[in-house]
Structure 1
């Protein structure tokens, strides 16, 4: 998920910055809340630490990217008694790559039904895989093929079409599609109205970015970020857009950078198209710190499309279990790895060999009767008098006639589930208020999970090869909102088109339509728009294969109940308290809360990696493991929470 297109200014100015003065500090651009170089810790030979208590029995609930990362890094540390429990019959969670092969023996471009455009936190001029991030580390380790993501209004697309107010945004008389060609990366969007909105956003963002970049990683950073949080945490993004602009930053009010200073009319445009790159409206009523951190700290810089572990033609490289059936520890079959798209990341975490151990996480888990359990739904976590945590689960849940209730006791349990699933599906028993305070329970229960709906279809190769009129990317204020047509390579039989990418109310309003109706209606609406525009006059439907359309509605997915966890204005400190839990209380409760549910960076893979590693760090601390590379807990900064 992203609220906008590539905003490379943070990565551009970072090239002039010195290295952080503190040994384990991250460099800019990077996450603001915990200025720590996780990649440096994880990529050491031997990983994070050497376990002192290898028999410490650990259960990981969920085999998405968070759970698999935690399990892999624990194994590298020497923790051998691991159990991974996954409710579905595949790994990957909200990394959901659909491999679609319509009427062809040749492979086709996969559909990314979940996360799709990845920030690597690399500086401009630096290869993405050298970025200061765990995403960059694992992409390099697993030899993933990547390319610049074709975001609206960027050099990576042939053209971006903008359709607002029925094609009459500028009152030009005839309905027209506004065309933005930006092959050099510096061309402004078309029309004065769009340029004015663009300029107001960039003026604000550049002022704030230029200031925080010079302080990031220094001894003054935590105080600076705390001041920004204190000033903005009670404001929604809608408030920030209308807040008057500030001409000069004042050192006596270090957290105040003003607002965007937009009029109601400008705000309406910004709501629909951001800076010409897709709707930001779904985020108007979340805390403004979310879009600020997303744009200012590198989440929108040099975004990448992950092709998979493939060659230039898109053919998978040799890898474990490619094209083979795979089974869990109890013999249940689950989805085989394809090594295509972003889901490759999860498949590699599970199946690729760990060099120090000369075996994979999968091989290790299969050596234990309950090492890897798929199709198994955790229903209760109970704190026992002996200090252990009992995990109760239903095994073989997709087969009601053979579903079996089972349980096992563990020294530690890493919970990676979306928080609404915890509340609705998992009983928490016998955890005292000192182990699991009501404030923590309330924070994850009342967290806001956004709906999201993606509609993909196969696209004939002739659209990108021969079409010269219809823009490659469309941004509209219609119900389709954002439309992406793109390809991975010339070898695949079909390309793909994301017919509609919507969030929150824009996604919820589509709930009454069946998948088939929605796909067909999207194409009909795009045809209507294109035929209405006097500079288009050509339908897109001849290029689109709606018989091979796929729809993903994350809020009704029983393994997710939402696509991204956000926070409303005034609730930022609640979200941060969840991130602090592992360090403050997990040693007493035996529970480690990780994943996007317990982060403030909604919709991204990087916080999933980092919270997983945070759990490993704290388990190592609790069990007296010897950290590698001279790292100690004094080097690990604390989250800043309102007093």
Structure 2
């Protein structure tokens, strides 16, 4: 086991944190995660859950009462695992009448009576399973691939396997399963190499020679059987990104699954914490093994022109231009550590033959503990995961089959009981108060008029798991009674006030038919462009009566500055503008014939005969409870971003507060950090309340890694 002494004063306590002198642990070798995995803590959470058949801890006799604020993936994971360990007194508070957080799936209405499965996901739509590179097969059959996905070294894979959730390969730009179109400089990039598809395209050109005169540009087509794009400028850009990534991965792959990873990670952070993505794109290349051993891999060495192309085309999952001025560490964590690899679309509950399965509570009226109606589970899209966490079987030591179910028993009465599993929706928390007796009290605004009353003011908790977005503090949630020295430090308060949530807009349209499956249609399934619609993805779930599934088109996917430009439009206006712009782009391409997006999109007509295309617009920036899609950060903010990540480790034992969710981590935009911080909270609640951890061969003090609160990349010397 690798240990390093904290650099603290000789006094019994650190002046800044009020903590006893301790050690900072690396993960013990048997509990190191496989590569790839998140950079900041290489602990095998999947193994922890696999080895905890009867629950993570033995909490069945524990009298403690736990509150969870927020019913997103983090809150539901924490509730699920606490209940699986036998804990009986759990109260979950959600400000809205829906659960799922940033898992927000809109399901489609039937098409001519045929149920549609290609759901529209406002939040995460492609999920990384973190498959051990050594376990991958080169050309797996469907059964083998399913086993790889469900066997990944991730909590996501654990739940996919537990609930038997169906997934499929996501059609990323440049992927093997989709045709990618690139529209750059109004279609000025031309193909410069011959492909197996050229003869087919020449026949199309001949068949459409009259309509080909509509435009002078070209939709550059990157076919799935091509490893590289068919244009020299694009190939040069991709090569520089691939060369840099492969070079880094060579060293990271060796260090990551070992107790020595934290020290190597510190070297990388020291070299890159002060750089933006743009800086590293333009930095010169370094090919020096001694420098690489020090965590310095230089930059991509791109020219300004190449950087502009990279801005539009991205690095494998869409344009990254909106992230060019953010911390490079965000991009590094994403692409080097597996968040952009093996990405899966979450389909829902289907059997191996593609037949849809019915899940618990589906199509039933569902209610919270006071009889308020809440959204019902659909088991389609990414929301399938949170559907299963709330309605699916718990197992372990739980005395109830699911979080949803017995939660109403004894509550809908004139004298409801306070103990047990309780779900409170439409119940925003307005204040978190530390009491003199050491417990925590929540002030709750129950926003829906009920005929049954519940005395929220009388509830006192031994632990509170907080999953709400950071901006809720200082606006809607007041924090009172916590000591700023060792419970609610000023640097945490500053972080909460300054945390940056990235705007994001998705514009979906419903399709009459999946045009990319029409052999006569040249429009690619994926389009990367510099127009205001930016990234376009066609998705169809290949399940059930697959020939009748029409699919959806994420016609416009934008972030940050590109997203804020679209905030002022009414939804229908924006949908119509996006279809119009897609048509304009295609009309300008001589290789698209007479084909337009609009001919494939469902529409209605108003009383004046005007066409309104059918779709859905989701602005994360405008959602009161979210105010953004992902919590991101700038360069030179290492210490700031670490404050919430280290809170559970440094302060939760005394404060009784625990942070969980993507808002308190650095890997935002995917669900894995929400899962992991939830499990971290559960472990520490057990540790702080004398509850034995049952996971086989696991000892918290020996095996669980901790962050180094004294590491500062600005002063750290790399040797």
Q: Normalising TM by the smaller chain, what interval?
A: over 0.9
- What's the offset of the Cα at 1:608? 0.4
CA contact (8 A) 1:456 1:551 kept: yes
Structure 1 residue 574: deviation in Å? 1.7
Structure-1 residue corresponding to 2:127? 118
Asked if structure 1 preserves the Cα contact closer than 8 Å seen for 2:273 and 2:327, the reply is: yes
- Preserved CA contact (<8 Å) 1:394 1:405: no
C-alpha contact 1:314 1:491 (8 A) present in aligned 2: no
Distance 1:368 1:444 in 2: 38
Q: Cα deviation per residue 1:478-533 (whole Å; 9 max; x = unaligned)?
A: 00000011200215542100010010001000011110011000000000000111
Q: 2:182 matched to 1:162?
A: yes
Unmatched runs of 5 consecutive residues or more in structure 2: 1-26, 138-144, 193-214, 412-417, 604-612, 713-719
- Counterparts of 2:239 and 2:129 in 1: how far apart (Å)? 26
> In structure 2, what is the Cα distance between the partners aligned to 1:269 and 1:548?
32
The equivalent of 2:369 in structure 1 is 329
TM-superposed deviation, 1:640: 3.4
Among 378, 382, 389, the alignment partner of 1:342 is 382
**Contact 1:200–1:262 (CA<8 Å) still a contact in 2?**
yes
1:34 to 31, 41, 47: 41
Cα displacement string for residues 424-448 of structure 1 (whole angstroms, at most 9, x for unaligned residues): 2101111111211011111122111
Q: How does 1:490-639 map to 2 (within 5 A)?
A: 490=546, 492-537=548-593, 538-546=595-603, 547-628=613-694, 629-634=696-701, 635-639=703-707
| Compared CA separation, residues 464 and 182, structure 1 to 2 (3 A) | closer
| 2:106 matches 1:98 | yes
* Cα offset, 1:249, TM superposition: 2.9
Q: Where does residue 414 of structure 2 map in the other structure?
A: none
Deviates more, 1:388-397 or 1:599-608: 388-397
Q: Secondary structure at the match of 1:359?
A: coil
The answer on whether the counterparts of 2:95 and 2:426 sit within 8 Å (CA) in structure 1 is yes
CA distance in 2, matches of 1:403, 1:153: 56
Q: How many residues align?
A: 620
Structure 1 unaligned segments of length 5 or more: list them. 1-19
The residue number in structure 1 matching 2:494 is 442
Which shows bigger deviation, 594-603 or 404-413? Answer: 404-413
Shift in CA distance, 483/251, structure 1 to aligned 2, threshold 3 Å: closer
Task: Please say if residues 502 and 632 of structure 2, whose CA atoms lie closer than 8 Å, have aligned partners that are also in contact.
Answer: yes
Distance across 2 between alignment mates of 1:91 and 1:513? 27
Q: Distance in 2 between matches of 1:429 and 1:400?
A: 28
Residue range with higher mean Cα deviation, 399-408 or 160-169: 399-408
Once the two structures are TM-superposed, the CA of residue 179 in structure 1 deviates from its matched residue by: 0.6
Corresponding residue for residue 261 of structure 2: 221
Structure 1 distance, partners of 2:386, 2:167, is 16
Cα deviation code 1:520-565 (max 9, x no counterpart): 0000000000011111132110101254300000011112111000
Q: Is the 8 A contact 1:96 1:343 kept in 2?
A: yes
What is the alpha-carbon distance in structure 1 between the residues aligned to residue 293 and residue 316 of structure 2? 32
Instruction: Report how far residue 32 of structure 1 moved.
Output: 1.4
Separation in 2, partners of 1:50, 1:247: 52
Q: Is the 8 A contact 1:104 1:493 kept in 2?
A: no
Paired residue secondary structure (1:209)? helix
Query: In the superposition, relative to structure 1, how do residues 276 and 191 fare at CA in structure 2: closer, same or farther (>3 Å)?
Result: farther
* Distance in 1 separating the partners of 2:99 and 2:75: 10
- Residue 368 and residue 189 in structure 1: after superposition, are their counterparts in 2 closer, same or farther (change >3 A)? farther
> 1:47: how far off?
2.1
Question: C-alpha separation between the residues in 2 aligned to 1:404 and 1:289?
Answer: 47
Does the CA contact (< 8 Å) of 2:58 and 2:693 recur in 1?
yes
Equivalent runs, 1:51-130 vs 2, <5 Å: 51=59, 54-101=62-109, 104-108=112-116, 109-122=118-131, 123=133, 124-125=136-137, 127-130=148-151
Distance 2:548 2:352 in 1: 11
Is the Cα contact below 8 Å between 2:378 and 2:384 reproduced in 1? yes
Q: CA deviation at 1:35?
A: 1.0
Indicate conservation of the 8 Å contact 1:162/1:475, yes or no: yes
* Displacement after TM superposition at 1:363 (Å): 2.6
Q: Does 1:265 align with 2:305?
A: yes
Q: CA deviation at 1:315?
A: 5.0
Aligned counterpart, 2:517:
465
Distance 2:379 2:649 in 1: 35
Q: Shift of the alpha carbon at 1:167? A: 0.9
Equivalent residues of 2:96, 2:427 under 8 A apart: yes
Tell me which residue corresponds to 1:451: 503
Q: 1:362 aligns with which of 392, 396, 404?
A: 404
Q: Deviations over 1:102-146 (max 9, x none)?
A: 553221221111110000001332611110010000000001011
8 Å CA contact 1:69, 1:612 repeated in 2: yes
